[in-house]
Every structure is written in C-alpha cells, then in structure tokens.
Amino acid sequence: MITIRSLNELERHGISVLTGEACGYGYRILCDLNRQGIQLVSDALGINPDKFRDTLPPNWNSRVNRTEAVASIMLAPEMMTPLAVFACWAAKCSEVHVLYDGSVVGIEPSDDEKSVEMWRGWCQGKYCESCRRYGAGGGINRSYHNPGFARHQHAMSGRTV
C-alpha cells in the first residue's frame, strides 16, 4: 500500500515542498518539480504537460527526489488530495481511498488481498461518537478504481472528453 498524508510525502513522486514564505497571501506553498512532478500535476489538472511546463517559472532548488528539478509552482495545501490520488494511479495502484483524516491510500497490485480486506474492515469499523458515523477519524471517505485510462470516449460522437 502507498500512503500519502502530506504534500511533503509527494517528493518521491516529483514534488518537493520548499516554503510557505513565497506566497503573499500566506496560503500557497512553493514547490519544485522534476519532470515526474510536472507530469503528475498536469495529469491531476487534466492539462497538456508540455504546454504546462512552458508556463512554469524555473526551479528554486536544484534537486527533487535525487533528480534534476526543472520548474517551480505554488500549490494550495488542499491540492495534496488530488495529487496523491494521481500519484497512486501513476504507481499502478488498482484502487485509491481518501480517508476522513485527509490521508490517501493506494492499493498496489502486489498487496496481499487478505491484508487489504483486513485494512478495509479496520478503517470502516471505526465509529465516532461525536460525529455519529462510521469511518470518522481515519476511515474511508471516498474510493476510486483505476480504469487504466484518464479520458473517456463519448459513445455517440467517438470524441475523447
């Protein structure tokens, strides 16, 4: 299983968190991207990675995940969830779960099915008295299955959307 709990844990996927001081609003976080990080951000946003790379400013530091950083970007903390979901899919996870605590967990093809089922039962079995719901405090909030492609083809026109 792949577990991502913060923007910092996206470094192995090509995004290196640098500082929050760069944002005049004090909201966004300056990050450096290597080519893998550019691909990840463009996949999550559904945009062309080559055109996207051309719009980014140069990197601030020289290395991300032991590879050459090529650009920088300001990311809101809430971008962690979609970036983590797409990082799991890029790692060939068959399904991805977003937990109530904000963590993202990807199920890898090599994961033992019995262990995965035990994990699912443990997550869904939690009950929060104050929230009056199962899954609070770390349980599964949303689940996504990897179809193996990012765009659907319209049945009538044949266009890819």
Mind listing the pLDDT tens digit for each residue in 84-98?
A: 999 999 999 999 999
Estimate the crossing angle of helix 80-90 against helix 35-45, to 10 degrees: 110
Query: What ranges do the domains of the chain cover?
Result: 7-77
Q: Report which of 99, 85, 102 is spatially closest to residue 139, judged by C-alpha positions.
A: 99
Mean pLDDT check: name the lowest of 9-18, 42-51, 149-158: 149-158
CB-neighbour burial class of residue 155 (10 A; exposed 0-12, middle 13-18, buried 19+): exposed
pTM for the whole structure:
0.82
What amino acid occupies position 142? R
Percent residues over pLDDT 70 in the chain: 84
Q: Which are the contacts of 25, defined by CB distance < 8 A and separation ≥ 6?
A: none
Residue 160 has pLDDT above 80, yes or no: no
Mean pLDDT check: name the lowest of 16-30, 36-50, 147-161: 147-161
